[in-house]
Chains A and B, each alone.
Chain A
Amino acid sequence: MSERIIEFENVVAGYTPSLTILNGTTFDARKGEITLLIGPNGAGKSTVLKTLFGMLVPRTGDVRFEGRRVNGHSQRDLLALGMAYVPQGRNLFASLSVRHNLELGGIALPRHALAPRIDEVLARFPRIRERIDNQASTLSGGEQKQLEVGRALLLRPRVLLIDEPSIGLSPKLVQDVMALLRELADQGVTVLMVEQNVRTALKYADRALVLEMGRLALDRPAHALLGDPDLNRLFLGGHVDGRAVTSTTPAGGGSAV
């Protein structure tokens, strides 16, 4: 088993004192893998990413990044530690040019280091290079997503958190985004992804974690879950009890939690 990069241990977190979303969530994500978080609406998938990235402070429990407890760390600290976050939806600064959007991704870098990093990112995204002086709002949906991911890669993160990357993209572009994430993972970047487009995402992911009511309900290899006839039920919020897990656990492993 590869090295554990991210660990959640009995994390309780929410947006207000009366609104608890994560109810003792426990899971881990491993180095160089794409870990896919799935579950019904309100299960706490995006909240996991926000808690991990310091946007929410856990009330109890531990969040660890490469073995270091990072509860309540600021987003800038986490970026410096090697974590990057691409939130859901459109995240570009529409009034700025493509280049300036990229530069913002490296605002924490010393000036002399910024230009080579931008070149490095542009080498990966030739289409973005062509549009470098255009206003970001003129990019297509797929180009915008490329730019968002490219901007997140500017700090060479070891962990990439990405929330619903397929929203608003055509099926072809979704495949392109997933292939990019797979390529990053194969190069050693740990990807933790929330995605509603489950069947496509499972084809590229290594592991799938099913969240239900803020708790981990199932931890399975992605390929095993992809072949599971109960996938839709699990994703839409079907209860995962002992019997259901027995019927869906493949020979390859995985466990109900």
Chain B
Amino acid sequence: MNASSSTVIARPRRPAVPRSRTRLALAAIVVIAFALLPLGLKSYGTYLCSLFCVYLMATFGLNLTIGYAGQMSLGQAAFLGIGAYIAAIGMKAGLPFFAMLPLAALACFAIGLALGFPALRVQHHYLAFATLGFNVLVFLVLRNEEAITGGTFGIRGIPRPSLFGLSLERDLPYFWFTLASTLLLIALLGWLLRSPWGRAFAALRDNPIRAESLGVNITAYTLLAFAIGACCAGIAGAYFASLVGFIDPAPFNFTASLLMLLGVIVGGAGRFLGPVVGTVIIVLLPEWLRFMQNWYLAAFGVAVIALMVWLPGGLLSLPERLASRRIGALP
């Protein structure tokens, strides 16, 4: 078949992964502005910026699992907890942060790999419940195994690391350290998603049966989607432990997993920068709404419902939605 025989129709060009210098420059400006933001903030503001980075690591991982590979997960907070507790226990025992960080990442990678096995048999809401069950199980272990985890009393006095002899004890250096680490993780995930692995994840999400007929190892990629997502949360957990200095099981319960899922979906699942917008919504928006006092959580809920109704594809789908309206494809 000779394609030249087909009618030539001009169509808009839309590369799958658009990259341009303008976008990179814009991203650099945003990152620099964010890095300088805490200079004008009090301690709590700096803490929130660091917390934003921590959650960003976890939601970027979850976006890979859910948005790119199409595997439902309601267990991301459990991995955040596992990473946090591994780092906390190790550091309390005198081990350095930089020894505990890869350990937390590896442990979560391995457990994430194991959690991927149910995904080979069940999908969608069944998989959601399987991962939810895992989150509940981890929460109960953290709460009940007091000898190891401190139970509901938690673990106190978790130190912050130092880097090349430079103490990161103060809030501002720790924020910059966390921000740099988050950017590195995002860059790594960006590279991964632009590699053949990323295409295989997308194929797994779009049509696993067709993907398999092309030679994509569905089993391996399903397991890897969970493992890499979990690994990101484990890394985030280690940073979280050092950030707050005290951990108990509460931040790692099922509600936190739901919140992270919300972050991915509100931002735009399967869009590379979706977690950035989503994490702003789940971490920073509730703080900005505090001026509403008792009503702030209700306002947060209404804002999320409105977003989901008007932009089911997430906030980053807004330009496409507006463009579709312009050409009359949407009411």
Q: B4 in the interface, Cβ–Cβ < 8 Å?
A: yes
Q: For the complex, what is the distance from the CA of A2 to the CA of B62, rounded to whole Å?
A: 54
Comparing A38-46, A103-111, A207-215, A244-252, the segment that makes contact with chain B is A103-111
Contacts of B4 in A (CB 8 A): 126-127
Q: For the complex, what is the distance from the CA of A127 to the CA of B206, rounded to whole Å?
A: 25
Supposing A93-B202, A96-B16 touch, asked if A173 and B210 sit within 8 A by C-beta, the answer is: no
A146 pairs with B213, CB closer than 8 A: no
Q: A135 in the interface, Cβ–Cβ < 8 Å?
A: yes
B14 pairs with A127, CB closer than 8 A: no
A104 pairs with B12, CB closer than 8 A: no
A140 pairs with B199, CB closer than 8 A: no
Q: A76 in the interface, Cβ–Cβ < 8 Å?
A: yes
B16 pairs with A97, CB closer than 8 A: yes
Q: A66 in the interface, Cβ–Cβ < 8 Å?
A: no
A95 pairs with B270, CB closer than 8 A: yes
Q: A94 in the interface, Cβ–Cβ < 8 Å?
A: yes
B199 pairs with A176, CB closer than 8 A: no
Contacts of B209 in A (CB 8 A): 55, 87
Contacts of A104 in B (CB 8 A): 196, 199-200, 203, 211, 214, 216
Q: For the complex, what is the distance from the CA of A183 to the CA of B39, rounded to whole Å?
A: 69
State how many angstroms separate the Cβ of A34 from the closest Cβ of chain B.
14
A91 pairs with B207, CB closer than 8 A: yes
Q: Which A84-126 residues have a C-beta within 8 angstroms of B?
A: 85, 87, 91, 93-97, 100, 103-105, 107-108, 111, 125-126
Q: How large is the interface on B (under 10, 10 to 19, 20 to 34, 35 or more residues)?
A: 20 to 34
Contacts of A94 in B (CB 8 A): 206
Contact of A176 among B2, B15, B200, B211 (CB under 8 A): B2
Q: For the complex, what is the distance from the CA of A173 to the CA of B213, rounded to whole Å?
A: 24
A-B contacts, CB under 8 A, total: 105
Please classify the interface of chain A as helix (H, G, I), strand (E, B), loop, or mixed, using the class held by over half of its residues.
Answer: helix
Supposing A107-B216, A127-B4, A176-B2 touch, asked if A93 and B207 sit within 8 A by C-beta, the answer is: yes
Q: Which A35-66 residues have a C-beta within 8 angstroms of B?
A: 53, 55
State how many angstroms separate the Cβ of B199 from the closest Cβ of chain A.
5
Q: For the complex, what is the distance from the CA of A93 to the CA of B82, rounded to whole Å?
A: 35
Q: A75 in the interface, Cβ–Cβ < 8 Å?
A: yes
Supposing A95-B206, A140-B9 touch, asked if A146 and B14 sit within 8 A by C-beta, the answer is: no
Q: B212 in the interface, Cβ–Cβ < 8 Å?
A: yes
* CB nearest to A145 among chain B residues: B1
Q: B20 in the interface, Cβ–Cβ < 8 Å?
A: no
Beta-carbon contacts of B215-253 to A below 8 Å, as 1s and 0s?
A: 111000000000000000000000000000000000000
Q: Which A131-161 residues have a C-beta within 8 angstroms of B?
A: 131, 133-135, 138, 140, 142-143, 146, 149, 151, 155
* CB nearest to A135 among chain B residues: B14
B210 pairs with A91, CB closer than 8 A: yes
A75 pairs with B212, CB closer than 8 A: yes
Contacts of A134 in B (CB 8 A): 11, 13-15
Q: For the complex, what is the distance from the CA of A33 to the CA of B194, rounded to whole Å?
A: 39
| Between-chain CB contacts (< 8 Å), 7 pairs | A76-B217, A95-B16, A96-B206, A111-B196, A134-B13, A138-B11, A146-B1
Q: Which 7 A-B pairs give the minimum distances between C-beta atoms?
A: A127-B3, A176-B1, A180-B1, A97-B16, A108-B215, A93-B206, A79-B215
